């Protein structure tokens, strides 16, 4: 469609964000999920988080997951790290990208990583130095960029100022996250007007606006998005937070709009249904259950 990008990049976060609040899966199950995503054409994905297994039991064995999937050609394997120690472990495991989180909300930042925003900027700076020496890029994810459950709306200028601080700290890229699903198309437009569109968007569907916010990002010119197979996800540190925009839903929409993702929606549906058997409950993705709009009914 006119005015939309020809192509976007999707970073699949199901093996990390999608699983972090679930009952822990085995390393083999997590590797099987990643393998299914690779079959669907995924070339950029978060594979694990190097965090305390006491804090996030579902992410235990991160180095084992990285080791088991190896280094597929053309695939960027990202890992979330909360601090320098986590970054050291992730780099030792051989990941291709680090993601770090810092919140535009002081209240959420304290609950998530037990630091003030200034302390988190210092930690991000140290992580970026370490990663730079290893030749590994760092994507700084600004959580609660579109509103906080603790402070309410956050001024777009405040988000933009934090983005500038993170770039000055050495971040290679910035992603704006709607951590608790407070974004609307209006808020997406307002924040992007302050930050510019050279950012990624990480959207959650807590209030049913995830896919329309995704579309608003496309209209604004954003070309990098985080999505999660099956629509699983959500912060274990924010009550009521729901899952991410489902990868197969985003791809199905993009296919209809003529926006290339390089991903196969049918294989993504297969991965989502595999994940459903692993976690033992239905995934929220509508496309996973109904299929893409062009799927033909099977003959009786």
The model's pLDDT over 159-185, given as tens digits with 9 standing for 90+, comes to 999 999 999 999 999 999 999 899 999
Structure tokens at 193: 């007007």
User: Where exactly are the structural domains of the chain?
Assistant: 9-287
pTM: 0.95
Rounded Cα distance, 135 and 144, in Å: 29
Query: In terms of DSSP bridges, do strands 9-12 and 97-103 run parallel, antiparallel, or are they unpaired?
Result: unpaired
pLDDT value for 40:
98
User: For 120-138, what is each residue's pLDDT tens digit?
Assistant: 999 999 999 999 999 999 9
pLDDT at 292 over 60: yes
Q: Of 141, 42, 144, give the one whose Cα is nearest residue 99.
A: 141
CA distance 76 to 72: 8
As its CATH architecture, domain 9-287 has Alpha-Beta Barrel (3.20)
249 CB-near residues (< 8 Å, 6+ apart): 211, 227, 231, 285, 286, 287
pLDDT at 300: 47
Residue 111 has what pLDDT? Answer: 84
DSSP conformation class of 4: S
Query: Could you please report the per-residue DSSP string of 96-121?
Result: SEEEEEEESSHHHHHHHHSS-HHHHH
Average pLDDT over residues 272-300: 86
The mean pLDDT of the chain is 94
With 0-12 / 13-18 / 19 or more C-beta atoms within 10 angstroms meaning exposed / middle / buried, residue 279 is: middle
Helix, strand, coil in percent for the chain, rounding step 5: 45, 15, 40
Q: What pLDDT digit, counting tens, does each position of 63-104 carry?
A: 999 999 999 999 999 999 999 999 999 999 999 999 999 999
Question: Residue 297 above 60 pLDDT?
Answer: no
Average pLDDT, integer, range 255-282: 97
pLDDT of amino acid 239: 62
Average pLDDT over residues 140-150: 94
Q: What residues pair up with 271 in beta bridges, in sequence order?
A: none
**Burial (Cβ within 10 Å: 0-12, 13-18, ≥19) of residue 118:** exposed
More reliable by pLDDT, 298 or 251? 251
27-39 vs 62-69: helix axis angle to the nearest 10?
A: 40
Q: Can you give 164-223 as a three-state secondary structure string?
A: HHHHHCCCCEEEEEECCCCCCHHHHHHHHHHHCCCCEEEEECCCCCHHHHHHHHHHHCCC
pLDDT digits (tens, 9 = 90+) for 211-242: 999 999 999 999 999 999 999 998 766 666 67
Q: What's the pLDDT tens digit per position in 186-214?
A: 999 999 999 999 999 999 998 999 999 99
Amino acid 235: pLDDT: 72
pLDDT band at 113 (very low <50, low <70, confident <90, very high): confident
Residue 121 contacts residue 157 (beta carbons within 8 Å): no
Predicted local confidence at residue 3, as pLDDT:
87
Planar angle of CA 139, 143, 144, nearest 5 degrees: 155
Residue 264 above 80 pLDDT?
A: yes
- What is the model's pLDDT at position 236? 65
């Amino acid at each position: 469609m006119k005015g939309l990008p020809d192509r976007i990049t999707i970073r699949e976060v199901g093996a990390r964000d999608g699983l972090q609040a679930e009952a822990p899966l085995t390393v083999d199950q997590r590797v099987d999920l990643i393998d299914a995503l690779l079959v669907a054409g995924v070339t950029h994905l978060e594979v694990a988080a190097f965090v305390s297994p006491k804090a996030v039991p579902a992410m235990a064995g991160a180095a084992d997951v990285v080791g088991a999937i190896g280094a597929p050609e053309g695939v960027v394997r990202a890992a979330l790290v909360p601090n320098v120690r986590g970054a050291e472990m992730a780099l030792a495991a051989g990941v291709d990208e680090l993601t770090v989180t810092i919140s535009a909300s002081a209240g959420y930042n304290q609950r998530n990583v037990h630091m003030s925003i200034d302390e988190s900027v210092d930690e991000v700076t140290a992580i970026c130095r370490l990663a730079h020496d290893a030749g590994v890029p760092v994507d700084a994810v600004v959580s609660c960029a579109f509103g906080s459950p603790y402070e309410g709306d956050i001024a777009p200028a405040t988000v933009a100022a934090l983005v500038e601080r993170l770039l000055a700290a050495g971040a290679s890229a910035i992603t704006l996250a709607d951590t608790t699903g407070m974004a609307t198309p209006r808020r997406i437009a307002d924040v992007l007007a302050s930050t510019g569109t050279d950012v990624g968007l990480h959207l959650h569907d807590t209030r049913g606006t995830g896919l329309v916010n995704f579309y608003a990002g496309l209209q604004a010119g954003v070309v990098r998005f985080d999505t999660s197979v099956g629509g699983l996800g959500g912060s274990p540190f924010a009550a009521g937070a729901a899952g991410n925009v489902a990868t197969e839903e985003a791809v199905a929409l993009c296919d209809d709009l003529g926006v290339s993702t390089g991903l196969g929606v049918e294989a993504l549906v297969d991965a989502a249904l595999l994940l459903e058997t692993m976690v033992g409950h239905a995934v929220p993705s509508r496309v996973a259950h109904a299929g893409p709009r062009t799927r033909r009914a099977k003959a009786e």
